[in-house]
Protein backbone atom coordinates (compact mmCIF):
# COMPACT_ATOMS: atom_id res chain seq x y z
CA UNK A 1 0.00 0.00 0.00
CA UNK A 2 1.40 3.40 -0.90
CA UNK A 3 2.02 5.75 2.00
CA UNK A 4 1.40 9.52 2.14
CA UNK A 5 4.37 11.67 1.14
CA UNK A 6 3.75 14.50 3.60
CA UNK A 7 3.29 15.21 7.30
CA UNK A 8 1.24 17.77 9.19
CA UNK A 9 3.32 20.96 9.35
CA UNK A 10 5.18 20.36 6.08
CA UNK A 11 5.62 23.35 3.79
CA UNK A 12 4.31 22.67 0.30
CA UNK A 13 3.66 24.45 -2.97
CA UNK A 14 0.50 24.01 -5.04
CA UNK A 15 0.87 24.69 -8.77
CA UNK A 16 -2.07 27.16 -8.76
CA UNK A 17 -2.47 28.38 -5.15
CA UNK A 18 1.18 28.87 -4.21
CA UNK A 19 2.96 28.08 -0.95
CA UNK A 20 1.23 26.77 2.13
CA UNK A 21 1.46 24.60 5.24
CA UNK A 22 -0.28 21.27 5.75
CA UNK A 23 -2.67 21.74 8.67
CA UNK A 24 -4.78 18.65 8.83
CA UNK A 25 -4.85 14.94 8.42
CA UNK A 26 -4.89 13.36 5.02
CA UNK A 27 -7.84 11.48 3.63
CA UNK A 28 -7.55 8.77 1.03
CA UNK A 29 -10.13 8.94 -1.73
CA UNK A 30 -10.08 6.96 -5.00
CA UNK A 31 -6.47 5.90 -4.41
CA UNK A 32 -5.14 9.45 -3.82
CA UNK A 33 -4.29 11.31 -0.62
CA UNK A 34 -5.86 14.72 0.04
CA UNK A 35 -4.51 17.23 2.56
CA UNK A 36 -5.98 20.26 4.38
CA UNK A 37 -3.70 23.23 3.66
CA UNK A 38 -3.45 26.87 4.74
CA UNK A 39 -1.91 29.05 2.03
CA UNK A 40 0.17 32.21 2.49
CA UNK A 41 -2.83 34.44 1.69
CA UNK A 42 -4.69 32.83 4.66
CA UNK A 43 -7.01 30.86 2.37
CA UNK A 44 -7.59 27.18 3.01
CA UNK A 45 -7.74 24.27 0.62
CA UNK A 46 -8.18 20.54 0.47
CA UNK A 47 -5.88 19.33 -2.28
CA UNK A 48 -4.71 16.14 -3.85
CA UNK A 49 -1.19 15.09 -2.92
CA UNK A 50 -0.13 14.79 -6.57
CA UNK A 51 -0.78 18.55 -7.00
CA UNK A 52 1.59 19.45 -4.15
CA UNK A 53 5.36 19.76 -4.09
CA UNK A 54 7.30 19.47 -0.83
CA UNK A 55 9.58 22.44 -0.29
CA UNK A 56 13.17 21.36 0.44
CA UNK A 57 13.44 23.11 3.79
CA UNK A 58 10.67 20.97 5.31
CA UNK A 59 11.98 17.48 4.54
CA UNK A 60 11.97 15.45 7.74
CA UNK A 61 13.66 12.11 8.54
CA UNK A 62 10.36 10.31 9.21
CA UNK A 63 6.93 10.19 7.66
CA UNK A 64 4.39 10.38 10.45
CA UNK A 65 0.98 8.81 10.48
CA UNK A 66 -1.91 9.66 12.79
CA UNK A 67 -3.49 6.46 14.14
CA UNK A 68 -6.84 6.35 15.87
CA UNK A 69 -7.25 3.62 18.45
CA UNK A 70 -10.48 2.60 20.14
CA UNK A 71 -9.99 1.41 23.71
CA UNK A 72 -12.87 -0.26 25.53
CA UNK A 73 -13.02 0.50 29.26
CA UNK A 74 -15.17 -0.65 32.14
CA UNK A 75 -18.37 1.39 32.58
CA UNK A 76 -19.36 1.45 36.28
CA UNK A 77 -22.81 2.78 35.35
CA UNK A 78 -23.66 -0.13 33.02
CA UNK A 79 -24.60 -2.61 35.74
CA UNK A 80 -22.27 -5.28 37.09
CA UNK A 81 -24.96 -7.96 37.31
CA UNK A 82 -26.03 -7.84 33.65
CA UNK A 83 -25.49 -11.25 32.07
CA UNK A 84 -23.46 -11.87 28.94
CA UNK A 85 -24.37 -14.38 26.21
CA UNK A 86 -21.56 -16.50 27.65
CA UNK A 87 -23.57 -16.74 30.89
CA UNK A 88 -21.27 -14.69 33.14
CA UNK A 89 -21.86 -11.21 34.67
CA UNK A 90 -20.55 -7.99 33.12
CA UNK A 91 -17.89 -7.31 35.77
CA UNK A 92 -16.26 -10.71 35.11
CA UNK A 93 -15.11 -9.40 31.72
CA UNK A 94 -12.69 -7.00 33.49
CA UNK A 95 -9.65 -7.48 35.72
CA UNK A 96 -10.53 -6.30 39.24
CA UNK A 97 -6.85 -6.49 40.25
CA UNK A 98 -5.67 -4.28 37.34
CA UNK A 99 -7.94 -1.21 37.68
CA UNK A 100 -10.78 -2.90 35.76
CA UNK A 101 -8.80 -3.25 32.54
CA UNK A 102 -10.52 -5.15 29.73
CA UNK A 103 -9.41 -8.77 29.79
CA UNK A 104 -12.39 -10.78 28.58
CA UNK A 105 -14.39 -13.24 30.63
CA UNK A 106 -12.21 -14.89 33.27
CA UNK A 107 -14.20 -18.12 33.13
CA UNK A 108 -14.70 -18.98 29.48
CA UNK A 109 -12.52 -16.80 27.24
CA UNK A 110 -15.39 -14.65 25.89
CA UNK A 111 -13.67 -11.33 25.09
CA UNK A 112 -16.61 -9.15 24.05
CA UNK A 113 -19.51 -8.63 26.46
CA UNK A 114 -22.82 -9.01 24.63
CA UNK A 115 -25.85 -8.85 26.87
CA UNK A 116 -28.06 -11.93 26.86
CA UNK A 117 -31.56 -11.27 25.51
CA UNK A 118 -34.21 -13.10 27.53
Q: What residues form DSSP beta bridges with 39? A: 20
What does the domain layout of the chain look like in residue ranges? 11-58, 71-118
Over the stretch 16-25, which tens digit does the pLDDT of each residue have?
A: 899 999 988 7
Q: Look at residue 60 in the predicted model and tell me its pLDDT.
A: 67
Say if residues 60 and 47 touch (Cβ distance below 8 Å): no
Residue, of 84 and 8, whose pLDDT is higher: 84
For 11-58, the fitting CATH number among 1.10.260, 3.40.50, 2.40.10, 2.60.40 is 2.40.10
The contacts of residue 108 (CB under 8 Å, 6+ apart) are: 86, 87, 88
How far does CA 9 lie from the centroid of its chain? Answer: 18
Cβ atoms within 10 A of the Cβ of 113, count?
Answer: 24
What does pTM read for this prediction? 0.46
d(CA 80, CA 84) in angstroms, rounded, equals 11
Say if residues 84 and 116 touch (Cβ distance below 8 Å): yes
Region 59-68 average pLDDT:
72
Over the stretch 7-57, which tens digit does the pLDDT of each residue have?
A: 888 899 998 899 999 988 777 887 788 888 999 988 888 888 888 988 876
Amino acid sequence: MNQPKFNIGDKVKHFAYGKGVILGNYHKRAGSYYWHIQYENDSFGYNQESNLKLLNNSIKPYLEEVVTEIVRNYNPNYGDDRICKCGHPYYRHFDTYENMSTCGCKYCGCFTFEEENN
